[in-house]
């Protein structure tokens, strides 16, 4: 598979300042702390992790809404971190974003038509009647009645507003879309509709998605591959089926044990892995493996050495010392920790 996006050693640290007049940096939030991975052309890569693990920051750093502290982001082999603001502005034609809260991300004073037309105007893609024609077409594509073109966002339901956000993202005919929890704020009954819409659009337009979500259940059916993040680092990345059937990272194992199973009999007898404690603060992440404070398998080495994120079998990436010493799993029942 060919990489459309290549992330190398991405770090995003946010400084924390003290002092009213003379601002002094006192600490750094290590929101994203060294990620290396690829997003293949035409795929959906699901990016999953608890809130605060850095997944949104990762999405925003990739599309250069944030300037990464360290690392490089290649899009079609071009390093986005080296582009001038004007060059990056041009690139945004190809790289778009869909936001979690379709209400907050749509200007309430603009009509739906103007919202969807904005990328066309900003990138000079259409003029006059052609703008109206394309807006109508985009509305139809995302399942909105084009007769509502002069209405305002508040006149639409949550699901329809997300469709407006999708139409806006599509307007410039992008290649790559970062969808940051696009269904989390929607009613469960609407979620599947938006997922199906995104899936159909991907097929029709050959789009590549980075699909960010806080739970695995939401990404399973849309993702070709899934990446799991914990505290600013990658824990595991592989194709969706392998991740579910053969997770290698203890954190992934715990997340999967929490995904509900539709069969009530299986669900009733199933044991869950309950992780102790909370996610530590990214201000002061644990030494060694950042997951060691909660890992049922943790051993001495985990407190000292940071596990490399490496390919342990073709296409399966894991950051865990157990891949060197699998026998350490023997006799540990993670559902009883
Ligand atoms: Fe657990 Fe150690 Fe693996 Fe980290 S490296 S996930 S602490 S076993
Ligand atoms: Mg797909």
For residue range 80-118, list pLDDT tens digits in order: 999 999 999 999 999 999 998 877 889 999 999 999 999
Across the chain, how many H-helices and E-strands are there? 11, 12
> 78-79 and 310-313 as β-strands: parallel, antiparallel, unpaired?
unpaired
- The reported pLDDT for the residue numbered 135 is 98
Ligand 1 atom with minimal separation from the 321 CA: 5
HSE of 35, CA atoms in CB hemisphere, 13 A? 36
- The reported pLDDT for the residue numbered 206 is 96
How wide is the angle at C-alpha 56 spanned by C-alphas 51 and 57, nearest 5°? 110
318 lines ligand 1 (CB under 6 A): no
Region of poorest pLDDT, from 57-66, 170-179, 326-335? 326-335
- Ligand 2 centroid to Cα of residue 234, in Å, is 22
- Residue 65 clears pLDDT 70, i.e. is over it: yes
- Ligand 1 centroid to Cα of residue 34, in Å, is 17
Would you say how long the chain is, in residues? 337
- Ligand 1 centroid to Cα of residue 248, in Å, is 10
At 337, the pLDDT band (50, 70, 90 cuts) reads: low
- Residue 23 clears pLDDT 90, i.e. is over it: no
Output the CATH code of domain 3-94+174-336: 3.40.50.300
Q: Largest alpha-carbon pair distance within the chain? A: 70
Identify whether the C-beta of residue 76 lies closer than 8 Å to the C-beta of residue 125. Answer: no
What tokens does 82 get?
Answer: 């080296």
Q: Over range 291-302, report the average pLDDT.
A: 96
What tokens does 134 get?
Answer: 């394309």
292 lines ligand 1 (CB under 6 A): yes
- The DSSP 8-state label assigned to residue 116 in this structure reads H
- Ligand 1 centroid to Cα of residue 292, in Å, is 6
> 225-230 and 44-48 as β-strands: parallel, antiparallel, unpaired?
parallel
**Per residue in 147-178, pLDDT tens?**
999 999 999 999 999 999 999 999 999 999 99
Q: Over range 294-305, report the average pLDDT.
A: 96
- Residue 300 clears pLDDT 80, i.e. is over it: yes
What tokens does 281 get?
Answer: 């603060």
Return residues with CB closer than 5 A to ligand 2 (ion): 44, 202
Percentage of residues of the chain with pLDDT beyond 90:
79
- The reported pLDDT for the residue numbered 131 is 97
How far is 64 from 94, CA to CA, in rounded Å? 13
- Residue 233 clears pLDDT 90, i.e. is over it: yes
Instruction: Reduce the DSSP state of residue 315 to 3 states and report it.
Output: coil
- The reported pLDDT for the residue numbered 271 is 83
- Residue 199 clears pLDDT 80, i.e. is over it: yes
Distance of CA 72 to the CA centre of its chain: 18
Q: Range(s) for CATH 3.40.50.300 in the chain?
A: 3-94+174-336
- The reported pLDDT for the residue numbered 132 is 96
294 lines ligand 1 (CB under 6 A): no
Which residues are CB-contacts of 122 (< 8 A; sequence separation ≥ 6)? none
**172: exposed, middle or buried (C-beta count within 10 Å: 0-12, 13-18, 19+)?**
middle
Identify whether the C-beta of residue 292 lies closer than 8 Å to the C-beta of residue 275. Answer: no
CA nearest to 178, candidates 77, 66, 83? 66
């Amino acid at each position: 598979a060919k990489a459309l996006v290549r992330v190398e050693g991405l770090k995003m640290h946010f400084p924390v300042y003290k002092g009213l007049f003379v601002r002094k940096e006192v600490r750094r939030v290590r929101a994203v702390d060294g990620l290396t991975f690829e997003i293949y052309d035409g795929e959906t890569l699901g990016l999953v992790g608890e809130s605060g693990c850095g997944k949104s920051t990762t999405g925003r750093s990739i599309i250069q809404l944030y300037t990464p502290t360290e690392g490089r982001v290649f899009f079609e082999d071009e390093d986005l971190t080296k582009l001038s603001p004007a060059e990056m502005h041009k690139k945004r034609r190809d790289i778009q974003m869909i936001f979690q809260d379709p209400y907050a991300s749509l200007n309430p004073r603009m009509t739906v038509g103007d919202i969807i037309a904005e990328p066309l105007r900003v990138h000079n893609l259409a003029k006059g009647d052609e703008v109206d024609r394309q807006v109508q077409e985009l509305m139809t594509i995302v399942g909105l009645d084009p007769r509502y073109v002069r209405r305002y966002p508040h006149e639409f339901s949550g699901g329809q507003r997300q469709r407006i956000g999708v139409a806006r993202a599509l307007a410039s005919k992008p290649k790559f879309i970062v969808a940051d929890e696009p269904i989390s704020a929607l009613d469960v009954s609407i979620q599947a509709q938006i997922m199906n819409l995104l899936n159909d659009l991907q097929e029709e337009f050959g789009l590549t998605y980075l699909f960010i979500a806080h739970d695995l259940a939401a990404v399973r059916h849309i993702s070709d591959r899934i990446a799991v993040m914990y505290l600013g680092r990658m824990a595991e990345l592989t194709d969706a089926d392998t991740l579910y059937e053969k997770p290698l990272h203890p954190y992934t194992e715990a997340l999967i044990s929490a995904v509900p199973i539709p069969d009530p009999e299986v669900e009733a007898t199933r044991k869950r892995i309950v992780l102790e404690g909370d996610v530590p603060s990214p201000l002061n992440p644990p030494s060694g493996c950042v997951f060691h404070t909660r890992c049922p398998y943790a051993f001495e080495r985990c407190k000292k050495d940071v596990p490399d994120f490496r390919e342990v079998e073709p296409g399966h990436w894991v950051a865990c010392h157990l891949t060197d010493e699998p026998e350490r799993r023997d006799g540990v029942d993670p559902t009883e920790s």
